Amino acid sequence: MRVHLLGLRQTLPRYPMRTPLACLVSALAALALASACGGDDDGAPTPLTPAASLTYHRDVRPIVEANCVGCHSPEGGAFSMQYDPAEWQNGAPSWAGSAAAAVASGAMPPWMPDEACRPLKGSRRLAPEQVQAFIDWRAGGFQPGDEASYVARSVPLPAGNDDAPPTFEATPEAAYQPDASQPDDYRCFLLPFEFAEETYVQGSNVVPGVRSIVHHVLLYLVPPTEVARTLERDQAEPGLGYTCFGGPGAGSTNVGGWVPGSVPQRLPEDSAIVVPAGARIVMQVHYNVHAQPPGEPLPADLTKAALWAMPAGRRPTHRVEVLPLAHLGLSIAANDPRSVQERVFTMPMDGEIVSATAHMHLRGTKIRARLEPAGAAPACLLDIPQWDFDWQQAYALPDDAYVPVKAGDKVRLTCEYDNSKENQPVINGKQEEPRPIAWGEGTLDEMCLMYVSVRAPFEAAPQRCGGFAACASACPAGSGKCFVDCSIDSGGQCPSCLLSGVARCAPAHCPLEGLALQQCLRDCGGGIECLMGPCADESDAFFGCMAPHVASGACDADVGACGARPADAAP
């Protein structure tokens, strides 16, 4: 496993997973995806001087301040590189050698996408002359130079960003003590954000309380119709929050989150995620309990979430839909050093892609998404050629380079994994044996997931299942698997919207099949991996039974908002 230790990549056992030196810029810093952790500088070249005379203050410090201290600061997620006179009293500080080596090797600043795919905002790559400055400074013995020679480099924030405080900021009502009896503790906390009127969210930031055990955090919008049920679920379970392995149980619209390497997120200035009046926000935190060293007690966590919204009275010109494209049918064979998994999704709406976020777990090696528009040449959307779990983030497209899409266009998602014996996780000092791996919520399972953020005109109605109708019309009679596959391939919010709606409609039409599936899911532990694996037969029977009722319109009260009725049965 490649991990970052004092800025160096080293080969270590893949597990236990300690949260890395993640770039987490303060919420009062740049809200754009072009983070202070090495965003674009002002373009001024670093003057090259002979190695012997190159100094920290004149030649290196301006690069560090402009590109590194967003992460490497007392408030960041890594050791501090901010200038501290006390560190220089006895020569160069301890980080100088490792920082220079990491920059020279290209390991730092971290920037994972292949820029040959397409231009992206906020690249953290240093210019060749800046890399050479670190090399020459090291060759000259890390000379400090004259502090008076330091000239700060201007790093203007992208348009529309400022240091305004968040509109909403909250934590759970108390710190949560993760459950040490399970390797992966998924906990949901209903945050005290109140939306008295329709609100337009443009930015988000999540700050994990204990990064060593927080695997990821997701913020979900709970629609007004689901708030009461979510409150009941929260109150029915003892302790803080409620268990939510597999999902929060209400709503699927993502409004923010955190994974290792994340930076604060910011949407285009004229665009926003629409939060209806009366909605709530639930924060799902995945605690990777195995990451805690054996014998050490689990610390209590208090993760903080913040949202930035448009001022009252303003409305966006565009709404943003975050579409999760998830290849749930993963099948990675034991001992396979190069397992390639691929799935094609149908875009459910017209609009413009403004950002993309890739996600896999520990055995992932590559992930890429390719747009395949109808009647046009395929185009690379995002390519991470060397996946590193330690560095994940949303990648924003430049304002003048959004990617237009039409409902029906395809997105091909390809993920590669190394499941060889040499690449197995180490738990409590013992390396695991290779085993078949499928999609799963646990850290030791895998995912193949791409979030695609699409903006459309504000007045356009959201399309949740745009590609489902044509797909489902071609399904064999009684094939529940085809029904589920069509919802997944349609991408976006289709699976959550459609499958939960079908479940609400089921008692009047397929009660026995519904009870059988419900019991199997309960025994399995819930989650989509149960639906696709141990409960596949029950799932096939249930959705095969329900498919004609959906087609006839009998379930429109429950699934009408999904746009899910096959075309040949439309009124």
**Mean pLDDT (whole number) for 57-77:** 80
Half-sphere exposure of residue 563: CA atoms within 13 angstroms, side-chain side:
18
pLDDT tens-place string over residues 495-524: 878 888 898 899 999 999 999 998 998 888
Is the pTM higher than 0.85? no
- Cβ atoms of 545 and 480 within 8 Å: the answer is yes
Tokens representing 532 are 């696709």
Half-sphere exposure of residue 87: CA atoms within 13 angstroms, side-chain side:
13
Residue with tokens 């209400």: 250
- Cβ atoms of 271 and 320 within 8 Å: the answer is yes
Q: What is the DSSP string of 34-73?
A: S-TTT-----PPPPP--GGG--IIIIIHHHHHHHTTTTSS
Higher pLDDT pick, 42 / 267: 267
Gap between the Cα atoms of 528 and 547, Å rounded: 19
**Mean pLDDT (whole number) for 527-535:** 75
Predicted pLDDT at 389:
82
Gap between the Cα atoms of 301 and 211, Å rounded: 9
Per residue, what are the HEC states of 176-197? ECCCCCCCEEEEEEECCCCCCC
- Cβ atoms of 172 and 303 within 8 Å: the answer is yes
Tokens representing 131 are 């890399």
CA distances from 384 to 35, 151, 335 (A): 19, 35, 23
Confidence label for 199 from pLDDT (cuts 50, 70 and 90): very high
**Mean pLDDT (whole number) for 145-153:** 87
The span from the first CA to the last CA of the chain, in angstroms, equals 55
Closest by CA to 106, choosing from 70, 132, 142, is: 132
Tokens representing 171 are 């934590």
Is residue 568 scored above 60 in pLDDT?
A: no
What residues have CB less than 8 Å from 474, skipping those under 6 apart?
Answer: none
**Mean pLDDT (whole number) for 143-148:** 92
Higher pLDDT pick, 517 / 15: 517
Predicted pLDDT at 76:
57
- Cβ atoms of 347 and 464 within 8 Å: the answer is no
Rg (CA), the chain: 25
Dihedral sign of CA atoms 401, 402, 406, 410 in order: positive
